[in-house]
Amino acid sequence: MRRIAAVKRVVVLLSGSGTLFQALLDAIGAGEVDAQVVAVVADRSECEGLERARRAGIPAFAHPFAKGSDRAAWDVELRDIVARFNPDLVASAGFMKLVGEAFLADFGGRTINTHPALLPSFPGMHGPRDALRAGVKVSGATVFVVDEGVDTGRILLQEAVDVLADDDVASLHERIKVVERRLFVQAVRDWPSGTGASN
């Protein structure tokens, strides 16, 4: 008898418009990814990504970090929100905050993120800008497993994007985003199910 694989439970972390999240929803809806987004958490009080989640009937949580507040306590609260949904995978989709020790103690090794450069080159907030400044002919997108560093985790997927002679930061970044969305969906699709905390 053929074993039916469990549907992957995914919590998405985001900060902005949620285009990576939408790409995942579209792929799930098309039957290309055997996963369910069980919750979305944003580090802003309001953003389009949260609205996308609400329109899709997905539990959506705003968990902003107030300047000057306790970062460790914020991290524990983030961990607790995510833990309620027992995800197989936490998918960071443009989440602009670094997760900390408490979060990684529970979800390290099953949290992924994307980056608009070919890591380990050009980590940090400005991958496309830094690639242009360095004069490289090729940049790209990376999906990696989140660790305690900044864009230092184990690389899962990469794809190159040519840097064109007339590129500026916006044009290069737009082409990278197209690849980033595809790799993000592929990484979720390929992630094994049944890796949640209660399994």
| pTM (predicted TM-score) | 0.91
Out of 63, 115, 126, 173, the active site residue is: 115
Considering the domain boundaries, does residue 178 fall inside one? yes
What is the pLDDT, as a whole number, of residue 3? 43
Considering the domain boundaries, does residue 93 fall inside one? yes
| Total domains present in the chain | 1
Tokens of 104: 């990684």
3-state secondary structure 16-59: CCCHHHHHHHHHHHCCCCCEEEEEEEECCCCCHHHHHHHHCCCC
What is the pLDDT, as a whole number, of residue 192? 86
Beta pairing, strands 8-14 & 35-42: parallel
Which SS3 state, helix, strand or coil, does residue 104 take? Answer: helix
Residue 126: domain span: 8-190
Tokens of 198: 């209660």
Check the annotation: does 3 bind a ligand. no
Catalytic residue list contains 115:
yes
Which SS3 state, helix, strand or coil, does residue 78 take? Answer: helix
Considering the domain boundaries, does residue 199 fall inside one? no
Considering the domain boundaries, does residue 146 fall inside one? yes
CATH code (residue 133): 3.40.50.170
Check the annotation: does 98 bind a ligand. yes
Considering the domain boundaries, does residue 163 fall inside one? yes
Average pLDDT per block of 10 residues along the chain, 199 residues long:
68 96 97 97 94 97 90 96 98 94 96 98 96 98 96 96 98 98 98 61
What is the pLDDT, as a whole number, of residue 86? 96
Check the annotation: does 71 bind a ligand. yes
